[in-house]
Structure 1
Amino acid sequence: MKKLFLFISIFSTVALWSQLKFEKGYFIDNQEKRHEVLIKNFDWLKNPTTFKYKTEENAEEKTATVDDVKEFQVFGYNKLIRYTGKINVYKNNLDNLSYSPEPDFRDAKIFLYQLSTGKKNLYSYFSNEIQNFFYSDESGEIKILIYKIYNPEGNTSLLAINDKYKSQLNNIFSDNEAALKMVKSTEYIDSDLIKIFNKYNQVTSEQSNLSLNKVKTKIHLALKPGVNFSKFKFYSPSSPQSYDANLSSIDPKFSAEMEYILPFNKGKWSLLLEATYSSMNANSKSIDNDRDISIKYGYMEFPIGVRYSMFLNDKSKIFTNVKFPILTLKTQDGSLKYTSTTYYSDTYFTLDRMSSSFIFGLGYSYNNKYFVELNSSMKRSISDFIYFRNYFTYNSISIGYNIF
């Protein structure tokens, strides 16, 4: 298990950095000169202030900053536009809201993602819980859309919203009845604002998909039958070995997994929620006196975790997981039984709910439909005995199928 853990750790590190490729793009400098280059594509979650580029594949890697560049884009992704002006730095933290409805303005020079393009352009900025949206029209001036949640009159039990952005939208789209009808239901979120600006700009479905890719998430639900190779050790650190035992078994497991793919870094990161049922049924001999020992234990566990995927091509990927069970339930009366001998009568130990520990995994997926996965758990106890110690581990192999 230690070797598997080491391999997964090394693999994850290498995979993360090996996939950050230089891709075709361009940038426009302060002299309005356009440079066709290769840009290191992080598919940024937060708006970057710098980016790395090469003039050609074997050229030296260089760094450009927001001071040097007016606009840049990795082809196939949203372009980023330099903005110098006010941003609203309030954070949407309900435990620490401002008492004032007025925006908390700060001067900044930043790159904005352009989410919709046309007569009216939409931009976004996200960093450290700060979310701002901006717009521009034919004049080219970029202006902020105002939104803020606050505690009115300092009363922390009340919430109010400065939604000035809606009146701004009414003015922006005053010449378009279809867009005006959407203003009332438009929330201060990426997807809603993209839809109303795209409606006004009459963008093509291809352009619309590009802008929505910035906020698009996916959910997969998979069934994962498999096999557990379980081990259970029971021993006393301070008494004779009459109860010491090592048991192992091969048992079926049944799992269902929900995967939420995060909308950045090209969909390489995802969150996991899993429900798993398995059991351990094994027989063995005690170490020093050859007593028959049997264990029966059934359990359900509900791990949450993180997955990182490395794409080999359009249909294949390798992934690593780290998961932690937030809840483990015993599904039958678990027991450890020692049969009688000349010197000993039958002895039973009751097994309780299993403790939680990390589970590490490695897998291969084909066409986002079929996958095989290996998992290895760290040591976990099944009962807290006064005079005895125990630990349970398993390695498993599962075959998965994504229902959607």
Structure 2
Amino acid sequence: MKKKLLIILLFCYTFTNAQVEFEKGYFISNDGKKTQCFIRNLDWMNTPTNFKYKIQLADSEIKTESIETAQEFSIDSECKYKRFKVKIDRASDDQKEATGKRNPQWMEETLFLKVLVEGDATLYSYTDANQNKFFYSTQTVPVEELVRVTYLKDGESAGYIRQLSNDVKSAKITDKDVNNLNYKKSDLIKYFTKYNNIQPATGENEATKASKKLLFIKVTPGLSFASVSAKNSANSSLNVDFDNKMVFKIGAEVEYVFPFNKNKWSLFANPMYQKYESEKNYIYYSTSAMENPETPYNAKIDYSSVQLPVGIRHYMFLNQNSKIFINALYSFEISGSSKISYTNMTPGSIAKGDFESHSDTNFAFGLGYNFKSKFSVEARFNTKKELMDYQTYSAKYNAVDFIVGYTIF
């Protein structure tokens, strides 16, 4: 099992890295030289401090530029970053709630800022693990942070409203437009786009990203090909392998797609109901002189459960409409029961025995295809799951699932 898991993880790692593309772009070095190249597009969640590139797409050599060596870089129709020396408020909201400070705690730093909308007034963003900041500049105002300070429990100093009222306001923008403006990426993009009276490629692309749907709800019927192997270390007459059977499953899936790395990663939960029933007649052959040499048995199993697989998914885009994906999941048992009954079928015998318990958790790995984020099919491979909780008695449930998904929201 460990060997299979290692192979799957290596496959996932290799395939994932293969999906990180080098895309056409450029960078401007410190001496002002503009270099056309192909930049590795990581769709950065946090603002980068360096980037990797190739001069020609077929080149094997991968080079690196950093904030120390490049003053600007851009990936065509995707993103643009410019280097500035700016004052930034690094104090976290938690610190301000503790101190009650209403004013920014300025630090001067050299940063890459992402261009969101470019025009007479330009909007930028900076993101790290703790903060999401916005900056702006105009023809008369150098780059500075749009100020919003949260302090104490409910206090907020919305300095950005005053900044925009003074520096980024025109006849077509009303006081209501400014005063109702939230410190959010999508709202600020719309505001700066309206002010510039244009629809810049960067602004349009960033607005599309900001409003892109990230939450999906699906119905997920499916079929499992399942079998059970029961073993008793204290009584080998109870060892039985139940036949592989087709089991119908029904469920739903909630998926959240992370808004970074080109929407290639998601987290999902997929509760499903299933019921496995089987019956097996078999002969137990004994070598003991104290037992019948051949004893007929009848074994029945009844297993039903509501499972809750929770996992992470990685998409690999084939084109605009099609993508394949891989999953890694951990499956919990919300409710369920398993019962295996034995009957000695020897004429005149009344011997019977039952084993009842609740099943255990298990891991699963899936491979699938998604079309237009609407339809999907998946093959899911489960690790063996223990159905019994006895010291000497074990029943391993083994299943491969084939699941169809249809997005309803």
Normalised to the residue count of structure 1, the TM-score between the two structures is 0.87
Q: Tell me the equivalent position of 1:127.
A: 128
Asked if 2 retains the 8 angstrom alpha-carbon contact of 1:23 and 1:40, the reply is yes
Q: Which of these residues, 166, 174, 182, is aligned with residue 187 of structure 1?
A: 182
Q: Report which stretch shifted further, 67-76 or 258-267.
A: 258-267
Instruction: Give the letter aligned to residue 357 of structure 2.
Output: L
CA apart distance, 1:178: 2.6
Is residue 394 from structure 1 mapped to residue 399 from structure 2 by the alignment?
yes
RMSD: 2.8
Per-residue CA deviations over 1:137-157 (Å, capped at 9, x if unaligned) read: 11361101222333x3xxxxx
Q: Tell me the equivalent position of 1:274.
A: 270
| d(CA) in 1 for partners of 2:385, 2:99 | 45
Is residue 50 from structure 1 mapped to residue 54 from structure 2 by the alignment?
no
Is residue 336 from structure 1 mapped to residue 331 from structure 2 by the alignment?
no
Note the 1:244-259 alignment, pairs <5 A: 244-247=239-242, 248-259=244-255
Q: Tell me the equivalent position of 2:378.
A: 373
Per-residue CA deviations over 1:312-356 (Å, capped at 9, x if unaligned) read: 2333322101122355222xx64221124456622222233x332
Asked if 1 retains the 8 angstrom alpha-carbon contact of 2:247 and 2:275, the reply is yes
| d(CA) in 2 for partners of 1:380, 1:176 | 68
Give the direction of change, closer, same or farther, for the CA distance of 1:231–1:105 in structure 2 (3 Å limit). farther
- Which stretches in structure 2 are left out of the alignment for 5+ residues? 285-294
**Residue 271 of structure 2 aligns to a residue in which SS?**
strand
Instruction: Give the letter aligned to residue 67 of structure 1.
Output: E
Give the direction of change, closer, same or farther, for the CA distance of 1:385–1:58 in structure 2 (3 Å limit). closer
Is residue 357 from structure 1 mapped to residue 362 from structure 2 by the alignment?
yes
Instruction: Give the letter aligned to residue 396 of structure 2.
Output: Y
| d(CA) in 2 for partners of 1:234, 1:323 | 25
| d(CA) in 2 for partners of 1:326, 1:101 | 47
Is residue 85 from structure 1 mapped to residue 86 from structure 2 by the alignment?
yes
Instruction: Give the letter aligned to residue 384 of structure 1.
Output: D
Instruction: Give the letter aligned to residue 15 of structure 2.
Output: A
Q: Tell me the equivalent position of 2:287.
A: none
Q: Tell me the equivalent position of 2:288.
A: none
Give the direction of change, closer, same or farther, for the CA distance of 1:125–1:337 in structure 2 (3 Å limit). same
User: Of the two, which has the highest radius of gyration?
Assistant: 2
CA apart distance, 1:276: 1.3
Is residue 175 from structure 1 mapped to residue 170 from structure 2 by the alignment?
yes
Asked if 1 retains the 8 angstrom alpha-carbon contact of 2:77 and 2:202, the reply is no
Per-residue CA deviations over 1:239-276 (Å, capped at 9, x if unaligned) read: 12233333343201123223322222222112222221
| d(CA) in 1 for partners of 2:142, 2:227 | 67
Instruction: Give the letter aligned to residue 197 of structure 2.
Output: Q
Give the direction of change, closer, same or farther, for the CA distance of 1:250–1:98 in structure 2 (3 Å limit). farther
CA apart distance, 1:111: 0.9
Note the 1:219-368 alignment, pairs <5 A: 219-237=215-233, 239-247=234-242, 248-285=244-281, 288=284, 289-326=295-332, 328-330=334-336, 334-342=338-346, 345-352=351-358, 354-368=359-373
Per-residue CA deviations over 1:95-154 (Å, capped at 9, x if unaligned) read: 99654333343332221111112222111111112211111111361101222333x3xx
Per-residue CA deviations over 1:286-316 (Å, capped at 9, x if unaligned) read: 6845421111122222222211111223333
Q: Tell me the equivalent position of 2:197.
A: 202
Note the 1:58-97 alignment, pairs <5 A: 58-59=58-59, 60-91=61-92
| d(CA) in 2 for partners of 1:144, 1:90 | 14
Asked if 2 retains the 8 angstrom alpha-carbon contact of 1:336 and 1:350, the reply is yes
Give the direction of change, closer, same or farther, for the CA distance of 1:2–1:363 in structure 2 (3 Å limit). farther
- Which stretches in structure 1 are left out of the alignment for 5+ residues? 153-157
| d(CA) in 2 for partners of 1:52, 1:304 | 34
Asked if 1 retains the 8 angstrom alpha-carbon contact of 2:316 and 2:323, the reply is yes
Report sequence identity in percent: 30
CA apart distance, 1:174: 4.1
Normalised to the residue count of structure 2, the TM-score between the two structures is 0.86
